[in-house]
Amino acid sequence: MSRFTVSDRALSSVSSALVAVVVVVVGAGVVLAPAASGATDSATVADEPLPCVSEQPPVVIGEQGYCPGYVIGVKRGAYGSGAPIVLQGVTVFGVAGTDATVSGGPSCLDPTKFCGALIPSVTVSLTSLSGRPGIGDVVDVYGITATNSLQADGYTVIGRSDCAPDFC
C-alpha cells in the first residue's frame, strides 16, 4: 500500500524490486528506506498527475509520489500532516542522532515575495534510514510531513556547500 493518499490513482510504473529494499546508488548518493509491507508487484500509469499544492508534478521515487515543497511550508505546517513532500536543493547544516536540520528555499510560501533575510530551516527525522547526509551536503529530501517537520523516506546528495547557509 502506497503512503500517497491524495488520490486513488496509481503512480508511474517502476520495478517493485527496487522498492522492496534499501537502495544506495554509489555516486548519486540516493538513500531510500525499505518499502512498507504489502507493496504491489507493479503500478499502473496514472491518467492524470496527482495534485500538488505547488501545482508542480510530483517527483516519483519507487512507487511513491512526492510533491515539491518548501522548507518554510513544512516548518509552518502548510502541507498538513501526512503529506508526501520533496524538499529540493536544501543544505544540511546540522546532524544530531537521527535528526538533520536542513535549510533552503524562499523565506515565505510565495517565492515571488520577500519575507525576510534569513533562509528558513526545519528538522528532518532520519530514523528509518541507515545512512545520514553530512553537514554541508546539498540534498533532495523525500518524506512525509509531521507536525512542523519531515519524516524522511530517503534523500539524494546533489552537491556540496562549504559555507553556512545564512552567509552564502
Question: Which pLDDT tens digit goes with each residue over 101-132?
Answer: 999 988 777 767 777 767 899 999 999 999 99
Mean of pLDDT over the chain: 73
Beta strand 64-69 pairing with 121-125: unpaired
**Nearest CA-CA partner of 117 in 168, 70, 162:** 168
Q: What is the 3-state secondary structure (H, E, C) of 39-75?
A: CCCCCCCCCCCCCCCCCCCCEEECCEEEEEECHHHHH
The grid coordinates of residue 106 equal 524562499
**Element (H or E) spanning 158, and its range?**
strand 149-160
pLDDT of res. 1: 37
Q: How much of the chain exceeds pLDDT 90, in percent?
A: 49
- Do the beta carbons of residue 18 and residue 35 sit within 8 Å? no
Which pTM value belongs to this model?
A: 0.69
pLDDT of res. 50: 56
> Residue ranges of the domains in the chain?
16-167
Return the number of other C-beta atoms located less than 10 Å from residue 62's C-beta: 22
**Residue 167 backbone phi and psi in degrees, to 5:** -120, 5
pLDDT of res. 165: 54
Which pLDDT tens digit goes with each residue over 41-63?
333 334 444 578 777 889 998 88
Q: How far apart are CA 75 and CA 91, in angstroms?
A: 15
CATH topology for 16-167? OB fold (Dihydrolipoamide Acetyltransferase, E2P) (2.40.50)
- Do the beta carbons of residue 46 and residue 65 sit within 8 Å? no
Of 148 and 106, the one with more pLDDT: 148
The grid coordinates of residue 101 equal 536540520
